[in-house]
Structure 1
Amino acid sequence: MPTTRSENRDDSHQDEPHNLVELMQAIESIETPSGRIRFDEVLDAIGRRAFGPLLLLAGLVTLAPIISGIPGVPSLMAMFTLLVCIQLLIGRRTFWLPRWLRNRTLPSDKVHTALKWMYRPACWIDRLLHRRITFMTGNLGMQLSALTCVIISIAMPPMEFIPFSVNIAGVALTLFGLSFMARDGLLAVLAFAITGLSLSVVLIHFL
């Protein structure tokens, strides 16, 4: 990826994705001559300062079976979500991630296959996005959502042992991310409901 693009993303929010398709296109544009895509390159592509796109990224990776089925990926996304949400809760404006996390890679062919699979439903979802119930995406709503995502991230590693439960958590993270990108509070409400469902699945399984 050209350096100027990365620098522009660090200096401004104008190039950050505002919906699901834009985020997917940003990831798809990353050049991967080695056949693997570094997590740091994805962060450069979508921006490092906005809570919504980062949360949506974690959700998409966790939601897509072809990617989340790779051993360790759900736990990686759990750590990523936990770090981002804790930093939001303590008031950081730019999210920091450790080098070992930023240097993790995924097979680019699996990433592109997952993006191709998700593109059509993403277009349909984007048409449904509207600014509504905006108090759910204000400062208080964002903090409550971040706290909920902390709980999700803690529950995600055990979910690797429960079929499809990680994908349900991915749906919740995706909806939280989209809600903040589009200021659509209805999606936040749905995300809280799905979070309750995913946590119930874990409790039922282990009790």
Structure 2
Amino acid sequence: MGELKEEGEREPTEPHNLIELLDTVEAIETPSGKLRFDDVLEATGRRSFGPLLLLAGMVTLAPVISGIPGVPSLMGFFTFLVCGQLLIGRRTFWLPAWLRNRELSSDKVHKGLGWMHKPSRMIDRLVRHRISFMTGTRGMQLTALACFVLAMAMPPMELVPLTVNIAGVALTLFGLAIMARDGLLSILGFIVTGTSLFTIFYNLL
């Protein structure tokens, strides 16, 4: 369930950790100075839940990018679609053209992701296969459900400083957990998700 591909197919550029994802995005050529979301999806892989979730998490986590008005809501909608389709059992993910064609400044994207290289190397060294039931079929379903709820809460998070970045941490943990089959990261993701939801509702109610 974690690898949503047709039998015999594999996307050779699919990243398997944080550094690989950063390098993949930064290697995308953007002659126009604009980075299309569809280009990022093409480079990172369209059919695997882990990389897509990690991508949404890292974009939401980076302050330079998440500070752009509308980006957190965009990533929330993207996460909502991906998780919803995973929960109903789709093997490939469908995204609307307007979302795939959305553009961001490549300079802002590179600046936003650039600061993540050093902590990403440290995190990648700590990640390993453990507590495997958390990333099995049931664990994936629970993860998708948690991210589904988190995605619905992301638009109002734009009104409360830092909460969207906490949501980005949760998505990043979940995405990396699935890619590395690291159940401990998945558990931490659920804890951060609970913290994020409590914070947003506490501040808005």
Q: What range is the shorter-chain TM-score in? A: over 0.9
Matched residue, 2:133: 135
Q: Deviations over 1:138-181 (max 9, x none)?
A: 01000000000010000000000000000000000000000000
Task: State the superposition RMSD in angstroms.
Answer: 1.1
Matched residue, 1:100: 98
Query: Partner amino acid for 2:156?
Result: P
CA distance in 2, matches of 1:14, 1:93: 18
1:200 Cα shift?
0.6
Give the TM-score normalised by the residue count of structure 1: 0.94
Matched residue, 1:5: none
Structure 1 residue ranges (4+ consecutive) displaced by more than 2 angstroms after TM superposition: none
Q: Where do 1:40-59 residues align within 5 Å? A: 40-59=38-57
Q: Where do 1:24-173 residues align within 5 Å? A: 24-173=22-171
Matched, 1:23 2:21: yes
Q: Could you tell me the percent identity over the aligned residues?
A: 66
More helix by share: 1
Query: Partner amino acid for 1:172?
Result: A
1:94 Cα shift?
1.1
Matched residue, 1:187: 185
CA distance in 2, matches of 1:15, 1:103: 21
Query: Partner amino acid for 2:173?
Result: L
1:11 Cα shift?
4.0
1:37 alignment partner, SS class = strand
Aligned length: 198
1:15 Cα shift?
3.0
Question: Any gaps of 5 or more consecutive residues in structure 2?
Answer: 1-7
CA distance in 2, matches of 1:48, 1:11: 12
Question: Any gaps of 5 or more consecutive residues in structure 1?
Answer: 1-9
1:198 Cα shift?
0.4
Query: Partner amino acid for 1:22?
Result: E
CA distance in 2, matches of 1:144, 1:192: 9
Matched residue, 1:6: none
CA distance in 2, matches of 1:15, 1:165: 32
